[in-house]
Amino acid sequence: MQSANEMPRYPLFINGEYCEPASGEYTQVINPATGDVVGEVAMGNEADVDKAVAAARNAFDNNSDWRRMSPEKRGKVLKQCAQIVLANAQELALLEVSCSGGTLNRVAGMDIMAVADLFGSLGDEVTQFPFVEALPTRPLPELVNTQVWREPIGVCSLITAWNFPLLLFAMKVAPALAAGNTMIVKPAEITPTSTVRLVELLNTVLPKGVLNVVVGAGSVVGEALTLHKDVDKVSFTGSTSIGRHVQQNAALTMKRVTLELGGKGPGIVMPDADIERVAYGALWGVYMNAGQACESGTRLLVHEDIYDEMIQRLKEVSEEVVVGNPMDPATGMGPMSTETHYNKVMQYIESAVADGAEIVTGGKRADVAGCEGGFFVEPTVIVGVKNDMKVACEEIFGPVLSVIKYSSLDEAIAIANDSDYGLSAGVWTENVVQAQQIARDLRAGSVWINDWHMMRTDAPFGGYKQSGYGREFGKYSISSYVETKSVSTSFERNPAAKKMHKIVHTKLA
Ligand code: NAD
């Protein structure tokens, strides 16, 4: 994978081997903490997608080792995949940190573990999954045995965003493999390196053609993968606007679709909440990965009785957060993914001030010694926000908390639900019984009580409203990669005894 100038190169990986892109073109991969080039990645095009889809199609239709393998055997292979992730954890973590800007603390301590756990736990789950289910025999109108079979859908296009490359990869690839599908992965073109390397590693235990990767521009490779007539399913993680477009493309050939899209998570702070716990927890909720997480808690709804005290503590705790080089274990928050994204986040902060809100801390570029070329934003808390302001309506995807004051619980729930999104929501209170009642009223796929980012690899994760549909993680995710077939067998041998036939064969005695 080395080029002449020793810059690591990441070609495409199709049908069990590395291959050059049809265009011959490569693009640079940039470290967002320093602005340095860390590698070159192939830019695929439609011809590469055709090649990868043909390989996946062949592995599904003709060389059907994978889809016909017993769930027990597939489970064993998934566990081998988990071992491979752990055995190569250091290399994968360093690749990921150097192009995504995620901190080493998080990528090594959380993401890699979750990736291994996803493969390993689905290795168990797949052995319990109801691939074949017998329905009770019904005596009337005649003796019939019916089974329900759950079968792999076929060739899947798996398209991921740049914010958690390996984790998003595993959330799609592990269940798609568990169900017996074949697939083409398209990582975001700015953070492809860990994905390409992991595809190469996993191919050591998978039949060739089952897992392929084509890197390239979304408008070219993503477009081709969502339009291709030989693709049966698209699973997409990314922005709501592109997700809508993906859904339209997929509709042309009725591809099955899972969409994991944006969010604008509201957290309701009740008047009895523990201020200290909320300050640390809510800021963990918005500053993890520098706010570049779909399920971040970006709107904090604080009761008027504790509003001033809460803001004071949010300000103090926010100022403790260490912004720095993601490779440094002392760093709590790294950079924005690109310069363009940095500029977008800064524009959102400016819009809040223009709309009449107030920045109590942060709001500027953060200077990090040794990372002068990086795209860092200070941890930012904005108060006096109204829910119809741009910062409260739109996904900023940066380290920016919007604090909104409320007076009554009904008002708080109405504000929380007054959003196009419905991915995450939460409640901060000492009264967990009331919190359960509030959780019923919150229109979001995940509700977290007294903490944030409480994602588990065995709990379903996905969106309400324009945050998408379908669920990932655990056994729920295997269901997203199967078709359901009913197979009925008749045991009546005598045509004259077949009561239903007499509807047509009226002369039958
Ligand atoms: P994006 O929508 O710009 O891109 C996501 C992926 O889609 C990339 O691989 C991109 O190349 C590809 N793409 C772009 N145009 C395409 C097209 N026309 N057809 C097919 N694919 C195309 O999103 P992003 O900026 O990479 O990621 C940030 C967004 O992802 C945020 O909105 C965030 O909330 C969302 N996200 C959601 C989840 C979730 O689980 N709900 C998780 C992570 C990120």
Q: Does domain 266-449 have CATH number 3.40.309.10?
A: yes
Decide which of 140 and 102 is more confident: 102
pLDDT band for position 1 (50/70/90)? low
CA atoms within 13 A on the CB side of 497: 9
| Residue 143 CA to ligand 1 centre (angstroms) | 51
Tens of pLDDT along 365-406?
999 999 999 999 999 999 999 999 999 999 999 999 999 999
Arithmetic mean of pLDDT, 162-172: 98
User: H helices within 62-186, ranges in order?
Assistant: 65-68, 71-87, 89-100, 104-106, 112-128, 165-178
Token pair in block for residue 327: 């490779």
Is residue 143's pLDDT more than 90?
no
CA distances from 340 to 62, 123, 287, 346 (A): 45, 40, 19, 10
Is residue 428's pLDDT more than 60?
yes
Look at 173-187, 222-236, 486-500 and tell me which has the smallest mean pLDDT.
Answer: 486-500
Q: How far, in Å, CA of 464 to CA of 421, rounded?
A: 7
**Mean of per-residue pLDDT scores for the chain:** 96
Q: Do domains 9-261+467-486 and 266-449 have the same CATH topology?
A: no
Tens of pLDDT along 190-211?
999 999 999 999 999 999 999 9
| Residue 145 CA to ligand 1 centre (angstroms) | 45
| For ligand 1, mutation pick of 41, 215, 294, 461 (most atoms within 8 Å of CB) | 294
Is residue 137's pLDDT more than 90?
no
Architecture of domain 9-261+467-486: 3-Layer(aba) Sandwich (3.40)
Tens of pLDDT along 85-99?
999 999 999 999 999
Return the domain boundaries, the chain.
9-261+467-486, 266-449
Q: Which atom belonging to ligand 1 lies closest to the Cα atom of 245?
A: 18
Output the DSSP codes for 261-273: ----EEEEE-TTS
Question: Left, alpha or beta for 342 (phi > 0: left; psi -120 to 50: alpha)?
Answer: alpha
Q: What is the pLDDT of residue 5?
A: 60
Token pair in block for residue 299: 């709107």
Radius of gyration of the chain (CA): 25
- Identify the residues whose C-beta falls under 6 Å from ligand 1: 159-163, 168, 186, 188-189, 218-219, 222-223, 226, 237-239, 242, 245-246, 260-263, 294, 395, 397, 423, 463, 468
